Amino acid sequence: MNPSLSTPAAPPDVMSSTPLLVAAARRQACKRAPVWIMRQAGRYLPEYRAVRETVSFMGLCKTPELAAEVTIQPVDRLGVDAAILFSDILIPLEAMGLEVEFTERGPRLPAPVRDRAAIDRLVVPDPAEKMPFVAAAIRIIVERLAGRVPVIGFAGAPFTLACYAVDGGGSKDFARTRAMMHSAPADFAALLDRLADTVAASLEAQVDAGVGLVQIFDSWGGNLSEGQWRTFALPATAKIVSRLQARGVPVTLYLGGGPHLIDAMADTGADVLGLDWRVDLETVLDRLGDRVTVQGNLDPTLLYAPPARIREEVARIARGVAQRPHIWNLGHGILPDVPVEHAQAFVRACQEIQA
Ligand code: CP3
């Protein structure tokens, strides 16, 4: 039992019907911390690669039956405590009117957003009209899982989406995006606000289709200083958080490379902070007290190490967290050539080890 969480926050009947993930996100009593893995549906799974041989990545995202199948694969294979919708953060950019390609070397936008006219051409799409395959996939997943585990919905954070929209693909430091922030701050703020409206509407549609929690990915937010993140990213991100909380679901904000942004992340009002391996979870819990649940944060490359090492690292993190509100995960997505048995060993260790 979990001493710090053992105060009966909810009557037993409510506790037993609330999924572990949602209870942990709400800082309610939990028998153990739940576990899932970012990018858990992906190339390290042979059954995912088998499906991908028959269909392109975009084709997979847009075929609800197949998206549902690969969403459920890691639930069956790893026994994780949540499913995450199979889709991509760049799907809403396409729905806004941008061309998006997935190449061998990652995503590419051949006509990036570089000026005010391009920002003004971006539409805030109606998800039911422009991304109907997302809700359709969620409905199949929810029906097929029949309450076994909850489904996580997700979207990119406004700043991270702006990085792809403006730079036109992956980058070391997203210099063009940051240059727009400095040279045309009002335009950049308008871009982030439009992205926030798109993301909020997309996540609301995912909630209506049945997801139990949503996660916002600010994978590249750590490229900003705290002042920059507070000025530009915070207002747009906080707007999404409050719209989704009004729909009754907890919200997780994941931020990559941002130990310096933790207070700013908490100021969005997010229920859960998703953290990478550069920060100690106990430091965050000590500082933010009862405000948040923390999620993470093993270094993804640790999954190349033997299972005994993985277990030691899980035990080390468990001691630091000391049974305070926590959701197990990696600090970033699982890498495509990790052995499946190592991912299984990670999940098993998280479910067995209690500090
Ligand atoms: O977590 C899950 O299992 C759900 C599916 C999911 C994908 N992308 C599938 C995917 C999620 C949650 C994402 C989010 C995403 N997409 C992020 C934020 C998380 C992060 O990793 O920081 C970002 C930045 C993207 C953009 C993106 N999509 C990149 C940079 C790439 C190429 C890199 C890569 O891993 O190949 C993608 C493609 C992508 N998205 C794949 C998958 C499974 C690989 C495509 C394939 O099957 O060939």
Residue bearing the CA closest to ligand 1, atom 47:
57
Mutate to test the pocket of ligand 1, among 45, 47, 89, 105 (most ligand atoms within 8 A of CB): 89
Instruction: Identify the residue whose C-alpha is closest to ligand 1 atom 40.
Output: 88
pLDDT at 17: 82
The residues annotated with a catalytic role in the active site are 39, 43, 52, 88, 164
CB of 42 closer than 6 angstroms to any ligand 1 atom: yes
**pLDDT by residue (tens digit) across 243-256?**
999 999 999 999 99
Q: Are 238 and 267 in contact (CB under 8 A)?
A: yes
Cβ(217)–Cβ(254) below 8 Å: yes
Environment class of 147 (CB within 10 Å of its CB; exposed 0-12, middle 13-18, buried 19+)? exposed
Report the relative pairing of strands 293-298 and 272-274 from DSSP bridges. Answer: parallel
Written as one letter, the residue type at 101 is E
C-beta 106 within 6 A of ligand 1: yes
Identify the domain containing residue 308 by its residue range: 3-352
8 A C-beta contact, residue 331 and residue 276: yes
- 353: helix, strand or coil: coil
Which pair of tokens denotes residue 39?
Answer: 């990018």
State which ligand 1 atom lies nearest to the alpha carbon of 74: 3
Q: pLDDT tens per residue, the chain (355 residues)?
A: 444 444 444 443 344 589 999 999 999 999 999 999 999 999 999 999 999 999 999 999 999 999 999 999 999 999 999 999 999 999 999 999 999 999 999 999 999 999 999 999 999 999 999 999 999 999 999 999 999 999 999 999 999 999 999 999 999 999 999 999 999 999 999 999 999 999 999 999 999 999 999 999 999 999 999 999 999 999 999 999 999 999 999 999 999 999 999 999 999 999 999 999 999 999 999 999 789 999 999 999 999 999 999 999 999 999 999 999 999 999 999 999 999 999 999 999 999 998 6
Strand, helix or coil at 328?
strand
pLDDT in tens, 138-192: 999 999 999 999 999 999 999 999 999 999 999 999 999 999 999 999 999 999 9
CB 149 within 8 Å of CB 72: no
Task: Kindly compute the dihedral angle of the four CA atoms of residues 255, 244, 108, 337, in this order, to the nearest 10 degrees.
Answer: 60
Of residues 296, 18, 335, the one with CA closest to residue 149: 18
Distance 39 CA to ligand 1 centre (A): 7
Tell me the CA–centroid distance for residue 279 and ligand 1, in Å.
Answer: 23
Instruction: Specify burial of residue 344 (Cβ count, 10 A radius: 0-12, 13-18, 19+).
Output: middle
Q: Which among 257, 121, 102 is positioned nearest to 187, based on CA atoms?
A: 121
90 close to ligand 1 (CB < 6 Angstrom): yes
Three-state SS sequence of 254-266: EECCCHHHHHHHH
Instruction: Give the Å distance between the CA of 164 and the centre of ligand 1.
Output: 13
Which segments of the chain does DSSP mark as H helices, in order?
A: 12-17, 20-25, 46-52, 57-61, 64-78, 91-95, 116-121, 127-130, 132-145, 158-167, 175-183, 185-209, 226-228, 234-245, 262-266, 281-288, 307-321, 340-352
Residue 182 DSSP code: H
| Tokens 């792809």 found at | 164
Predicted pLDDT at 355: 66
| 52 CB near ligand 1 (under 6 Å) | yes
Amino acid at 316: R
At a CB cut-off of 8 Å and minimum separation 6, what does 326 contact?
A: 24, 33, 281, 293, 294, 295
Q: Tell me the CA–centroid distance for residue 254 and ligand 1, in Å.
A: 14
Nearest CA to ligand 1 atom 44: 42
Residue minimizing CA distance to atom 46 of ligand 1: 57
Query: Which atom, in ligand 1's list, is nearest to the CA of 170?
Result: 30
Q: Which residue has the tokens 């600090």?
A: 331
Q: Is the distance from CB of 202 to CB of 92 less than 8 angstroms? A: yes
Residue 265 in contact with residue 287, Cβ under 8 Å? no
Q: Whose CA is nearest to atom 39 of ligand 1?
A: 88
How many domains does the structure of the chain reveal?
1
Q: Whose CA is nearest to atom 20 of ligand 1?
A: 219
Q: Which residue has the tokens 């003004």?
A: 120
- The CATH number of whichever domain residue 298 belongs to comes to 3.20.20.210
Residue of 265, 327, 342 lying closest to 297 (CA atoms): 327
